[in-house]
Amino acid sequence: MSAKTGLDALDLAQKRVLMRVDFNVPQDEHGAITDDTRIRAALPTIQEVLKKGGKPILMTHLGRPKGVDEKLRLDPVAKRLSELLGAPVTKLQDSTGPEVEKAAAAATGVVMLENVRFNKGETKGDVELAKSYAKLGDVFVNDAFGTSHRDESSVSGVARLLPSVAGRLLEKEIAAFARVLEKPERPFLAILGGAKVSDKLLVIDNLLAKVDVLIIGGGMAYTFLKAQGHAIGKSLCEDDRLDTCKAALAKAKELGVEILLPIDHVVADEFKNDARSKNSPLDIPGGWMALDIGPKTRKLFTDKIAGAKTVMWNGPMGVFEMESFRQGTASVGRAVADCEGYTVVGGGDSVAAIELLGLASKIKHISTGGGASLELLEGKALPGIVSLSIP
Ligand code: AMP
């Protein structure tokens, strides 16, 4: 029998369970929460801790405050959590110190500390700060996948000081990426898009050793096309990366990885939704910029996706925020949703596109962390995961 891991490895009864969650939710100008997905995502772990007799003491960051910022206090977040749990949540006005220790010990039910980024040293991983968090708990649970790529006091710092495990959300993310990156069913196809090739070079390098097919679309495709000698008009291009793109194409050939790039495009004369636009062949006429993949490319990409057994998608195929240039991303999104293989979508923009299309329920795993998922795809170990004492 295998050793117990995660929450199953700890006796939580009567324990103060210090838990890092990622409740960095979007808010409107009045502070109202506009999307509570991140709060909902942590509910299973919180409910399990409660059921096992533990006392959850939650900590999270919200926004990027420099010191205390009244607008970024967690009261609206605690209120929403309380509504979703159907139970009271005691929100404290600070996150460290004797008063907080006393108040956390005295409270019944769920406790929420104040925004950890009000503390100097939090984002630098200050060890003394981590020690003051550690005084609040008997054990530590990390359920904040979205911040697990950060070596911060409330993420990896405190994990090194207490018996620590992954929560259910983090566990699910780790399992999904392991399934894709360690033992993918083949053919394994990855789709990369988005604006900048420079942001994804490490991902490309790592994925080339693992995938059978790599689809590259979006703004980043045009540096590749220029590297192949094609005309790209005034499309997005990073000229200082042309050699790196050539090297990636050569590596793919050597490894027998099929790389698919756009073979036609939707081009516009300006970067705006109501710009003049038309379909363009592979070589783009001067004065025009590609803002989406064209119809032949949509067919090429979606046919390939249909035959894959594992699909990993990160990054849109065009400027999907503008309705005129959304079709490529929508077609790819639908093809991923219809694919019968194991499908994972990560990265803020592709997740937003999937949600916009109402396809979320048809994707096998939607990652809750943009930066964290990219670092996993780069082959990096995440501090918030490797710091856990019981993996
Ligand atoms: P990233 O943050 O690198 O994942 O890039 C996402 C952004 O890339 C989105 O805001 C898209 O609008 C943008 N994008 C995708 N395709 C293109 C393109 N062909 N030209 C310019 N921007 C693009």
Q: What is the CATH number of the domain that holds 236?
A: 3.40.50.1260
Query: What is the per-residue pLDDT for 4?
Result: 83
156 and 190 part of one domain: no
pTM recorded for the entire structure: 0.94
Tell me how far the alpha carbon of residue 149 lies from the centroid of ligand 1, in angstroms.
Answer: 23
217 domain residue, yes or no: yes
In the chain, the largest separation of any two C-alpha atoms, in whole Å, equals 70
345 domain residue, yes or no: yes
- Tell me the per-residue pLDDT of 219-275, one tens digit each, with 9 for 90 and over: 999 999 999 999 999 999 999 999 999 999 999 999 999 999 999 999 999 999 999
What residues does 17 pair with on adjacent strands?
56, 139
85 lines ligand 1 (CB under 6 A): no
Q: Judge contact between 147 and 384, C-beta under 8 A.
A: yes
Is 347 a known active-site residue? no
Ligand 1 atom index nearest CA of 316: 15
82 and 140 part of one domain: yes
231 and 287 part of one domain: yes
Nearest CA to ligand 1 atom 12: 319
The last residue of one of the domains, among 109, 139, 170, is 170
385 lines ligand 1 (CB under 6 A): no
Nearest CA to ligand 1 atom 11: 319
166 and 188 part of one domain: no
Amino acid at 24: N
213 and 343 part of one domain: yes
The last residue of one of the domains, among 170, 192, 220, is 170
Annotated catalytic residue, options 131, 135, 179, 196: 196
54 lines ligand 1 (CB under 6 A): no
Site to probe by mutation for ligand 1, drawn from 280, 319, 323, 324 as the one with most ligand atoms within 8 Å of Cβ, is: 319
158 and 201 part of one domain: no
218 lines ligand 1 (CB under 6 A): yes
The last residue of one of the domains, among 139, 170, 201, is 170
179 domain residue, yes or no: no
Half-sphere exposure of 70 (CA within 13 A, CB side): 1
194 lines ligand 1 (CB under 6 A): yes
384 domain residue, yes or no: no
Helix locations, the chain, DSSP H: 37-51, 75-85, 98-106, 127-134, 158-159, 168-181, 201-208, 221-227, 242-255, 295-306, 327-338, 348-356, 370-377, 383-386
122 and 148 part of one domain: yes
188 and 89 part of one domain: no
316 domain residue, yes or no: yes
Nearest to 290 by CA among 224, 354, 373, 338: 224
DSSP character at residue 89: E
- Tell me the per-residue pLDDT of 118-176, one tens digit each, with 9 for 90 and over: 999 999 999 999 999 999 999 999 999 999 999 999 999 999 999 999 999 999 999 99
Number of domains, the chain: 2
Tell me how far the alpha carbon of residue 232 lies from the centroid of ligand 1, in angstroms.
Answer: 16
- CA 7/CA 5 separation, integer angstroms: 7
- Tell me the per-residue pLDDT of 83-125, one tens digit each, with 9 for 90 and over: 999 999 999 999 999 999 999 888 889 999 999 999 999 999 9
Is 315 a known active-site residue? no
289 and 153 part of one domain: no
Tell me how far the alpha carbon of residue 194 lies from the centroid of ligand 1, in angstroms.
Answer: 4
213 and 287 part of one domain: yes
Strand order in the sheet with 289-293: 277-281, 264-268, 289-293
Tell me how far the alpha carbon of residue 224 lies from the centroid of ligand 1, in angstroms.
Answer: 15
387 domain residue, yes or no: no
218 and 355 part of one domain: yes
Ligand 1 atom index nearest CA of 222: 19
Annotated catalytic residue, options 15, 16, 20, 38: 38
238 and 290 part of one domain: yes
Domain carrying residue 255: 184-377
Nearest to 36 by CA among 368, 370, 374: 368
Nearest CA to ligand 1 atom 17: 219
- Tell me the per-residue pLDDT of 345-364, one tens digit each, with 9 for 90 and over: 998 788 889 988 999 999 99
Query: What is the per-residue pLDDT for 1?
Result: 43
Is 371 a known active-site residue? yes
228 domain residue, yes or no: yes
388 domain residue, yes or no: no
Is 196 a known active-site residue? yes
363 lines ligand 1 (CB under 6 A): no
